[in-house]
Copies of this chain bind each other. A is one copy, B any other.
């Protein structure tokens, strides 16, 4: 049977960071949670959990969401890894309390 698991701190942090990267990438592209969820093919609830860093989500959907949000993942030559992520990561601490893509203009620098 499937058991409830515990995760190392490093694992939880990685999940949290990836979730935030996805959220930042999504907002930068002016997508609502619903829009991204539709493109990935999951419910908004699940995307919300992914962005929160839930460990139970399927890795395929998480990676797909990341890809559609512009987050670089593991590549054959993983030199490409940092390029985009590093830029996004700079904004990790700037996450607004309640996030919502501006309706008046998109692609602002929030």
Copies of this subunit: 2
Interface of A, secondary structure class, is: helix
Q: Which residues of the partner chain B approach A56 to less than 8 Å between Cβ atoms?
A: 58-60
Known contacts A55-B58, A81-B82, A82-B82; is A17 also within 8 Å of B76 by CB?
A: yes
Q: Mark A19-60, 1 if CB is under 8 A from B, else 0.
A: 001000000000000000000111000000000001111111
Known contacts A15-B60, A41-B5; is A82 also within 8 Å of B79 by CB?
A: yes
In angstroms, how far is the closest chain B Cβ from the Cβ of A26?
A: 16
B17 adjacent to A61 (CB under 8 Å) = no
B86 adjacent to A78 (CB under 8 Å) = yes
Partner pick for A55 among B6, B13, B42, B59, CB 8 A cutoff:
B59
